[in-house]
Amino acid sequence: MKAAVIGAGAIGGYFAAMLADAGHDVTLCVRTPFETLTIDDGGATRDVGATIVADPGDMPADAGPVDLIVVATKAQDTASARPWLEALSGPETLVLIAQNGVDHADRLAGFGLAGTVIASIVYVAAERVGPGRIVHHYSSRLIVPDDAPGRQVARFFEGSALAVEIEPEFLTAAWRKLLANVVANPVTALTLRRMDVFTDEAVQELGRGLLAEAIAAGRASGAKLGDDEVDRILTISAGANSGSGSSMLYDRLAGQPLEHEYLTGAVVRAGERHGVPTPLNKAVLALLGAVDRSPVERP
């Protein structure tokens, strides 16, 4: 079958490799062209059999519509996927959104797509170390809703190393991942510190406050979040490799756009919809907006 992946970052490159391993004809849609996609998995580096295209206008006449499109851009770059989606999708196309956050479908709502949009939760620790060069560190999980389109997506990855989980409580699972993101990402990005920052008791208290608000907003949105979520996430954060960081920290250090509107912003918007106060998250959102794309000056 034919598949396309939009975005050649760590997640996009990894998904392209998994689809190729599953035996599909894969097109990788990129901004800047490169010759070959390679993946290093467990120390073994191999080339990935994918066609790399940098302009929707350069697609072969018989390229679309494809059976599956994976949107693997950062959430804030979703608009850049539109020309590719228009070129590659049709009424039978499945469009899998492999991005952070809980409002996946809303991001494509104005695109007028004829295909079926599927939200997902990605747990893949991979790194883009150069153009077309992906290193997979650990974890290879994709969570999709327990419905017919979700099950169709699972079949696409059969024969690859990506474990696809069908989740009946998808909304809850999405909010559980968001909870971790609204603490580790903002705190490391604003302090310019790595995960060792969570050994500070005052930072842990801030984390508790951010999580309490997010849990209340998530519950009001229909997520079934337990009372143990705060301790669970803070324990994970404090126990993480002290030298590791977060994607938002790395983006800030690189002067790249931040994903705050789709992480902390998702909590604030959910609170506003349901009348749940989120003052700490609103303050953090304002600070992240102030430093977004600003250069980091070192003394």
Kindly calculate the radius of gyration of the chain based on its CA atoms and give it in whole angstroms: 19
Q: Which of 2, 74, 177, 282 is catalytic?
A: 177
| Amino acid identity at 214 | A
- The pair of structure tokens assigned to 130 is 């150069």
Structure tokens at 100: 């952070």
List the one residue out of 186, 180, 187, 172 whose CA is nearest residue 259. Answer: 186
CA dihedral 75, 78, 81, 85 (to 10 degrees): 100
Report in angstroms the alpha-carbon separations of 13 from 30, 144, 181, 197, 252. 10, 19, 22, 31, 22
- Annotated active-site residue 74? The verdict is no
Per the DSSP assignment, residues forming a β-bridge with 144 are: 166
Catalytic residue positions? 177
